[in-house]
Amino acid sequence: MFELTLQAIVSGLLVGGVYALMAAGLNLIFGVVRIINFAHGDLMMVAMYAVYWLFTLSGIDPYVAVLVVAPALFLLGVFLQRVVIRPIQGSSPLMIIFATVAVSLVLQNLALMLFQGDFRSVQTSYSIAVLDAGPVLVSVPRLIAFAASILLFAGLFLFLRYTYVGKALRAVAENRTVARLMGIRVERIYLLAFGLGSALAGIAGVLMMPFASAYPTVGTIYTLLAFVVVVLGGLGSMEGTVVAGLAVGLIETLTGTFISPAVKEIAYFGLFIVILLIRPQGFFGLGKGTEEVGLK
Amino acid sequence: MKRAGTIAGVLILLLGALLLSPAALAQQEIRIGAIYPRSGSLALLGEESWRGAEIARQERNEAGGILGRQIVFVNADAPNVNAARSEAERLISQQGVQLLIGTYSSALSMAASEAAARRGVTFFELGAISDGITQRGYKTVFRTNPTASMFVAAQMAFLRDWMAPQMGKEPEQLRVAIAHEDSDYGTSVAENMRREAERLGLNLVSVQPYSSTSTDLSSVILRLRAASPDVIVAVSYAQDAILLQRQAHELGLRSKVVGTGGGHSLSSFYEALGDLAEGVFNVDFTQYEVNTAFTPGLEEFRERYRATFGEEPRSGHSLANYMGAHVLFDIIERSGGSLDPERIRASTLSYVVRPGQLATGWGVRFDETGQNVGATPLVTQWRGGKLVTVWPEQAAVMAPVLIE
């Protein structure tokens, strides 16, 4: 029983790390640009295919591929913000939601057309490596994904807290009008936030590829999960995102293991509803009102 | 003299043309409606299924047809349930077709066969496996391929007759766990499994439903591991079959795995898992890595498929439809070329073939519900990247092994 619990906790934390990383990118876009990006998981899907093709065609290791994939996804994010979002940014929030859903559909169907519905995986020497740590077993690529995700969070936290650009990002997240009055070039911050957010989705895709398969609709479930994590953790709060991501992973694995796999979704969506009711700004939200996402 | 000869020649040609006119030909041809999903999301294997029936038709026509009459397919595309129903009705009422075949998908088959049966028209299913198709009391609906519960029966018989002795256990000592995706497909198959395992006296230790869209199945694996099964029987789609196998390895669950068609038979299963796929069992329609002495005609079918469509068969679906169409042609021949439903039913119920004589190796013996109870799914195993037939012995190309 002790071993089972310990293993469930470890497995839950490992999954949660990836959820948190997915959500970090969404949180930047959601918190700073204030748009609900339904294509977030599909950006991860694009990155997964990129890793797959780089590996299959030129033998580039998935972890090395991050050097190409992350910048490419950054540019894709900037492109989307500039070409799709900016022209309609002042219009109704619903319009923007439709636009991101359209981007999601375009990306999914492009993938379907180009690569069919097949499940694409990369096989590396470490794909199935397992670390035997006494009472628990730890998959090596999952551990790498977890560790990389925690490191990225630390970097992101420092960046947002101590650099000028990071402070500008936070300022825009808190109040874009005042930020503009203070001389921050809000349009540029939007481009940066969307680019960074996409790059983070890309890195999440890279880190998952050694143990997951790419297929056209792989992003859909992650988009949903990332939204849950962002709202639980609080808009604009990176600490909140880490805590919420790990919490969702833990809840999923523990309820799945000790109650039934059938209830694991019920458990974290249930928590999601409770948090929305009693603390809508999330665990670490920036205060009342920040949850409104410009929907008025 | 020369002119008279020319005129006579022209007259003979005209007379010949008259005899061969469409109206005259129509009396000679045997027309069969062929309903398959050939566009939309089911198109890949729907088309594959149709190709099998089409090859049987060409082959039979080249050999002189049925009692000298050529067979013609009136083809209809049914990408969804509504289309299946309306196309069946259209073929019957507007094209005057008296016999229908199809369909690959169980949902399509339910709709099309119902439309046919209500009009008293014969329907032969050659590839869909849902049990319900032949359980609605329709006298004119038949099926040549095995059902879902026959898949389960073959699987559980394999566990009792091969796996238990191999592990040095009595059947009641063999610890069996079921992991299934929780949609209608997985749930109904798993329910069959539970009943069959109990009937055969196997020791069922755990049943784990899960959502096939899950991103992580560690909780399923941990629960299975806690039950320490000897063998896990899985009903999975593509992505979850891969995830189960990978996470079982990551979490140190070393039980044997037996799949039920679906995700475990796809080439992407092996491509994603490599060595982790080695030794995984699966129950399925007859595949191409099989003992051809048990499946006479399989190699010829494969040759012909390549010649006709310019590629290798994509799955065993074409083979199953090929076998089914030939059985149907034999039955029509036995009723003297008549498509009268009463006569077709009588010759169907009296038509018997022993296993090992047709291209799928399946026997033929129809019961009162119209189901061919002689058809048996085969057990295959992933060996060196190929899904080879390992059981029963007469169909096997390799002996099954337990891979640690």
Q: Each residue of B227-243: pLDDT tens digit? A: 999 999 999 988 899 99
Contact B239 A119 (CB under 8 A): yes
Q: Using alpha carbons, select from B114, B113, B105 the residue that is nearest to residue B79.
A: B105
pLDDT score, position B212:
84
CATH number at residue B300: 3.40.50.2300
Residues of chain B contacting residue A127, judged by C-beta atoms under 8 Å apart: 274
Counting every residue written for chain A, the total comes to: 296
Instruction: Read off the amino acid at residue B180.
Output: H
Helix or strand run (H / E) with residue A260? none
Residues of chain A contacting residue B276, judged by C-beta atoms under 8 Å apart: 128
Q: Using alpha carbons, select from A135, A172, A140, A169 the residue that is nearest to residue A14.
A: A140
Q: B154 and B217: one domain?
A: yes
Contact B246 A222 (CB under 8 A): no
DSSP result, A178-193 = HHHHTT--HHHHHHHH
Q: Which residue carries 């609605």 as its tokens?
A: B136
Total structural domains within chain B? 2
Give the whole-angstrom CA distance, residue B346 versus residue B331: 9
The answer to whether the beta carbons of residues B161 and B201 sit under 8 Å apart is no
Q: B160 and B278: one domain?
A: yes
Give the whole-angstrom CA distance, residue A89 versus residue A96: 7
**Across the interface, which of A4, A119, A253 has its CB nearest the CB of B272?**
A119
* Strand ranges for B48-162 from DSSP E: 71-77, 99-102, 122-125, 141-143
Give the whole-angstrom CA distance, residue B89 versus residue A128: 53
Confidence of residue A293 (pLDDT cuts 50, 70, 90): very low
Contact B272 A11 (CB under 8 A): no
> Which residue would you say has higher pLDDT here, A35 or B16?
A35
Contact A213 B242 (CB under 8 A): yes
Give the whole-angstrom CA distance, residue A270 versus residue B308: 56
Q: B104 and B211: one domain?
A: no
Instruction: Read off the amino acid at residue B111.
Output: A
* Virtual torsion, Cα B56, B62, B67, B73, nearest 10 deg: 50
- Provide the residue range defining the domain that includes B232: 149-284+379-395
Chain A: closest CA distance from residue B209 (Å) = 7
pLDDT score, position B262:
78
For residue A116, count CB atoms less than 10 angstroms from its CB and return exposed for 0-12, middle for 13-18, buried for 19 or more.
Answer: exposed
Average pLDDT over every residue of A241-270: 91
Interface test with B, best of A44, A213, A221, A269 (most B CBs within 10 A): A213
pLDDT score, position B14:
52
Pick the range with the lowest mean pLDDT from B4-8, B137-141, B197-201.
B4-8
Cα diameter, chain A: 59
The answer to whether the beta carbons of residues A20 and A246 sit under 8 Å apart is yes
Residues 192-231 on A with a CB inside 8 Å of B are 211-213, 215, 221-222, 225
Residues of chain B contacting residue A137, judged by C-beta atoms under 8 Å apart: 250-252
Residues of chain A contacting residue B217, judged by C-beta atoms under 8 Å apart: 261
Radius of gyration for chain B, computed over Cα atoms and rounded to the nearest angstrom = 24
* Residue B12 predicted with pLDDT over 70: no
Long-range contacts, stretch B91-94, CB < 8 angstroms, 24+ apart: B91/B33, B91/B35, B92/B33, B92/B116, B92/B119, B92/B121, B93/B119
Pick the range with the lowest mean pLDDT from B6-10, B319-323, B400-404.
B6-10
Give the whole-angstrom CA distance, residue B66 versus residue B197: 44
Which of A111-115, A234-238, B3-7: highest mean pLDDT?
A111-115
Give the whole-angstrom CA distance, residue B63 versus residue B59: 6
> What phi and psi, each to the nearest 5 degrees, are found at residue B206?
-165, 140
Contact A213 B251 (CB under 8 A): no
Which of A85-94, A266-275, B217-226: highest mean pLDDT?
B217-226
Average pLDDT over every residue of B352-361: 95
Residue B289, in any domain of the structure: no
Say yes or no: A4 contacts chain B, CB-CB below 8 A. yes
Q: B267 and B305: one domain?
A: no
Q: B71 and B201: one domain?
A: no
Q: Which distant-in-sequence residues (6+ apart) come within 8 Å of B119 by Cβ?
A: B89, B92, B93
Q: B36 and B133: one domain?
A: yes
Give the whole-angstrom CA distance, residue B261 versus residue B150: 12
Pick the range with the lowest mean pLDDT from A11-15, A179-183, A263-267, B307-311.
A263-267
Q: B124 and B30: one domain?
A: yes
Residues of chain B contacting residue A212, judged by C-beta atoms under 8 Å apart: 215
Residue B404, in any domain of the structure: no
Cα nearest neighbour of B179 on chain A: A261
- A233-250 pLDDT, tens digit per residue, is 887 788 889 999 999 999
Query: In the beta sheet, which residues pair with residue B257?
Result: B232
Chain B: closest CA distance from residue A178 (Å) = 41
Cα nearest neighbour of A139 on chain B: B250
Q: B40 and B124: one domain?
A: yes
Say yes or no: B166 contacts chain A, CB-CB below 8 A. no
pLDDT score, position B7:
58
Residues of chain B contacting residue A7, judged by C-beta atoms under 8 Å apart: 222, 251
Total structural domains within chain A? 1
pLDDT score, position B63:
95
pLDDT score, position A295:
38
Q: Using alpha carbons, select from B294, B309, B325 the residue that is nearest to residue B392.
A: B294
Cα nearest neighbour of B181 on chain A: A262
The answer to whether the beta carbons of residues A192 and A6 sit under 8 Å apart is no
The answer to whether the beta carbons of residues B369 and B264 sit under 8 Å apart is no
Pick the range with the lowest mean pLDDT from A114-118, B225-229, B297-301.
A114-118
DSSP result, B146-199 = PPHHHHHHHHHHHIIIIIHHHTT--GGG-EEEEEEESSHHHHHHHHHHHHHHHH
SS3 B81: helix
Residue B228, in any domain of the structure: yes
pLDDT score, position B5:
58
pLDDT score, position A2:
86
Contact A128 B246 (CB under 8 A): yes
pLDDT score, position A294:
39
Q: B110 and B169: one domain?
A: no
Residue B400, in any domain of the structure: no
Q: B120 and B159: one domain?
A: no
- The two beta strands, A136-139 and A130-133, are antiparallel
Q: B74 and B170: one domain?
A: no
Confidence of residue A286 (pLDDT cuts 50, 70, 90): low
Q: Which distant-in-sequence residues (6+ apart) come within 8 Å of B382 by Cβ?
A: B269, B270, B277, B278, B279, B280, B282
Q: What is the DSSP letter of A214?
A: B
The average confidence (pLDDT) of chain B is 91
pLDDT score, position A296:
32
Contact B271 A265 (CB under 8 A): no
Interface test with A, best of B213, B219, B251 (most A CBs within 10 A): B219
Instruction: Read off the amino acid at residue B319.
Output: L
HSE, side-chain direction, 13 A CA sphere, residue A82 = 10
Helix or strand run (H / E) with residue B11? helix B2-19
The answer to whether the beta carbons of residues B211 and B233 sit under 8 Å apart is no
Contact A264 B209 (CB under 8 A): no
Residues of chain B contacting residue A119, judged by C-beta atoms under 8 Å apart: 238-239, 242, 266, 268, 271-272
Residue B212, in any domain of the structure: yes
* Strand ranges for B227-336 from DSSP E: 231-235, 256-260, 281-284
Residues 221-240 on B with a CB inside 8 Å of A are 222-223, 225-226, 238-239
Residues of chain A contacting residue B273, judged by C-beta atoms under 8 Å apart: 121
Confidence of residue B22 (pLDDT cuts 50, 70, 90): very low
Percent residues over pLDDT 90 in chain A: 62
Chain B: closest CA distance from residue A8 (Å) = 7
Confidence of residue A287 (pLDDT cuts 50, 70, 90): low
SS3 A273: helix
CATH number at residue A145: 1.10.3470
The answer to whether the beta carbons of residues A54 and A60 sit under 8 Å apart is yes
Give the whole-angstrom CA distance, residue A245 versus residue A160: 19
Give the whole-angstrom CA distance, residue A95 versus residue B194: 50
The average confidence (pLDDT) of chain A is 90
Chain A: closest CA distance from residue B239 (Å) = 7
CA B45 to chain centre: 11
Sign of the C-alpha dihedral computed for residues B74, B78, B84 and B87 taken in this order: negative
CB atoms within 10 A of CB A10: 23
Residue B12, in any domain of the structure: no
Percent residues over pLDDT 70 in chain A: 96
* Residue B20 predicted with pLDDT over 70: no
How many helices, marked H, and strands, marked E, lie in chain B? 14, 14
Percent residues over pLDDT 90 in chain B: 79
Contact A11 B220 (CB under 8 A): no
Q: B211 and B117: one domain?
A: no
Alpha-carbon distances, residue B57 vs A122, A279, B324 (angstroms)? 42, 68, 11
Say yes or no: B251 contacts chain A, CB-CB below 8 A. yes
> What phi and psi, each to the nearest 5 degrees, are found at residue B403?
-100, 125
Reading phi first (left if > 0) and then psi (alpha if -120 to 50, else beta), residue B118 is in: alpha
- B153-166 pLDDT, tens digit per residue, is 999 999 999 999 99
* Residue B4 predicted with pLDDT over 70: no
Residues of chain A contacting residue B216, judged by C-beta atoms under 8 Å apart: 11, 15, 249, 252-253
- B75-101 pLDDT, tens digit per residue, is 999 999 999 999 999 999 999 999 999
Q: Which distant-in-sequence residues (6+ apart) come within 8 Å of B10 by Cβ?
A: none
Tell me the angle at which helices A40-58 and A186-208 cross, rounded to the nearest 10 degrees.
Answer: 50
Residues of chain A contacting residue B315, judged by C-beta atoms under 8 Å apart: none
* Residue A119 predicted with pLDDT over 70: yes
- Provide the residue range defining the domain that includes A271: 2-292
